Structure 1
Amino acid sequence: MLDLAIIGGGPAGLSAGLYATRGGLKNVVMYEKFMPGGQITSSSEMENYPGVATVMDGISFMAPWSEQSTRFGLKIEQKEVIRVEKNGENFKIIFSDNSSDDAKAVIVCTGAAPKKAGFIGENEFFGRGVSTCATCDGAFYRKKEVAVLGGGDTALEEALYLANLCSKVYLIHRREGFRAAPSTVERAKKNEKIEFILNAKVEEVVGDNAGVTGVKIVFNDGSKKDLAVPGIFTFVGLDVRNEVLKQTDGSFLCEMVGDAVKVDLKMRTSVEGLFAAGDLRVDAPRQVVCAAADGANAALGVISYLESKH
């Protein structure tokens, strides 16, 4: 029987593991389907984490987190959790191979995944010219023209990253205004390699067996434009990864607000002993520093919860 099971190995999960074990819990395991680090590892630029003044990519930024979080006894296991169930006062963690573990408390930190933009050809050409990760795939388009879709911080930061590699970057956004930080917008506007295509959306990507050959754009006034580019990077938001909380009857284990988990300020859900942290929870700011704080809060909440049971 585990004291605590942490599901997800991004900033929230790693912080939860650090605070839980440093706070005295002895039997804590974090389950992560992939390598620890989370979605931020696909970012080309991390410049706003307090106390870390060096601008670095997401992989470099997250590199020390696993070592630090395991220093006090956290175990990290590369397993895919498919479901969490309540089992009396405890919880059952069920894995993709149908094996399971039991835990007295659970913190779910499964985060979010890039949202599909919804244009024709997106699924067909995903991985063959359609991408959601500039640091992963940008090098394939060195000295070529590419398109970026989106108007938030991620879209503009990745457009700036791609401008270092590509001959031209077309930034497509559905409105005049941007959700991105004004300083980031200003940097993008000053970059000679970035051309803004505003009040427009991507209607379709076209291509052949080799991959994408072009992007069809439609403007809000109905006019159209074709771009002959071999790649498009989409950054149009995130979908919450809440699948592990879905029960066999289709309901959720705890109270939800839309797709997100309802929590209080201590990251407690409606189910005693179950906590949620990071991008999974309601009103998540989707910033690394906030996810890390959520994880710490959840871990402290678990310690108090387990102490109250003795």
Structure 2
Amino acid sequence: MDTEKTKCLIVGSGPAGYTAAIYASRAGLSPILYEGMEPGGQLTTTTKIENFPGYPDGVDGPVLMEAMKAQARNLGANIRFGAATAVDFSGGTLRVTVDGKRQIEADAVIVATGAAAKYLGLESEQRFKGRGVSACATCDGFFYRNQDVIVVGGGDSACEEATYLASICRKVYLVVRKDHLRASKAMQARVAGTSNIETLFETVTQEVLGDDNGVTGARVHRNDGEERVIEATGFFVAIGHRPNTEIFRGALELDEEGYIRTEPGTSRTSVPGVFAAGDVQDPHYRQAITAAGSGCTAALDCERYLLGL
């Protein structure tokens, strides 16, 4: 296996990884950044972002990520395509294996691997994944123009997906398990003000229905016992995310949900020299701006660690 040494290795991209690379580059750390399986992270599947400072008219997610990436690269970051497949933080040297064939020995590591979408866990959902079942409306919504679709979830992500789909689809059914939306007031107001979104509270999906051509609808169950079949060609799941920390189990301290634990007010993890930034350590906010801020924190913590401060 090829071995390479570096002062600072950043695992993952997105706002956290790219911002960490920007700060680490300016600090003269010559960071190597591996982008992971989804270069740019979740924001590459987001359309207009209206709450990132500095963009009065909003900015498309992919545009913002490409700008961050270019800025990091222009400052000297070595940005590469590839994903971490194993880690060894047990000795004095921090070792990360990339794509199962290259080992990086680093003086410090910043983990910014983000989080992945959760699914309901239904057999029928898995059967129709990619054939009508999706966790990304902005990726796949185009295929359902002028059709009826279902969105499952009650948070900001579900409401954002529902409003986006409502702009291109004939009808959107928003299936919410609770008797209220957990989304921000602004997102709740947007859903309420969109005439072709029908919100079904206290409702759970029993089965995704379909045939050889893909999804045809879903069978849902209300808390009062009523069952209903909704006819739809698209089924979008927006019920949260799971941190991408599987390779760090046993190497770093994780919380009950799998997020990396960091010392309060810092990016420091349970292993000296390893820092965490972005959604991989943030189960609460998960915003582009907080991820970018934590990427800055991680790079500054990393710099101070390497200086022995």
TM bin, normalised by shorter chain, reads: over 0.9
Pick from 12, 15, 21 the counterpart of residue 25 of structure 2. 21
**Alpha carbons of structure 1 residues 136 and 283: separation in structure 2 relative to 1, 3 Å:** closer
Q: Which runs of 4+ in 1 moved over 3 A?
A: none
Once the two structures are superposed, what CA deviation does each residue of 1:250-306 show, in whole Å capped at 9, x if it has no partner?
A: xx2122222111112220011110111111115441111111111110000111011
1:262–1:282 Cα contact (<8 Å) kept: no
Equivalence for 2:153: 150
Equivalence for 1:300: 300
3-state secondary structure, aligned to 1:201: strand
- Structure 2 Cα separation of the partners of residues 80 and 123 of structure 1: 25
The number of aligned residues is 303
Say whether 1:253 aligns with 2:251. yes
Equivalence for 1:116: 119
Give the Å deviation of 1:63.
2.3
Equivalence for 2:226: 223
Equivalence for 1:59: 62
Q: What letter matches 2:66 in structure 1?
A: A
1:83–1:243 Cα contact (<8 Å) kept: no
3-state secondary structure, aligned to 1:107: strand
Give the Å deviation of 1:99.
2.2
3-state secondary structure, aligned to 1:64: helix
Say whether 1:2 aligns with 2:6. yes
Say whether 1:272 aligns with 2:272. yes
Pick from 52, 59, 79 the counterpart of residue 82 of structure 2. 79
Give the Å deviation of 1:96.
2.5
Q: What letter matches 1:268 in structure 2?
A: R
**Alpha carbons of structure 1 residues 45 and 179: separation in structure 2 relative to 1, 3 Å:** farther
- Structure 1 Cα separation of the partners of residues 278 and 89 of structure 2: 21
Question: TM-score scaled by structure 1?
Answer: 0.94
- Structure 1 Cα separation of the partners of residues 271 and 177 of structure 2: 40
Give the Å deviation of 1:21.
0.7
2:11–2:36 Cα contact (<8 Å) kept: no
3-state secondary structure, aligned to 2:307: helix
3-state secondary structure, aligned to 2:49: coil
- Structure 2 Cα separation of the partners of residues 133 and 56 of structure 1: 18
Give the Å deviation of 1:238.
0.4
Equivalence for 2:130: 127
Percent of matched pairs sharing the same residue:
39
Give the Å deviation of 1:23.
1.6
- Structure 2 Cα separation of the partners of residues 23 and 284 of structure 1: 29
Equivalence for 1:249: none
Question: TM-score scaled by structure 2?
Answer: 0.94
Structure 1, unmatched stretches of 5+, are 247-251
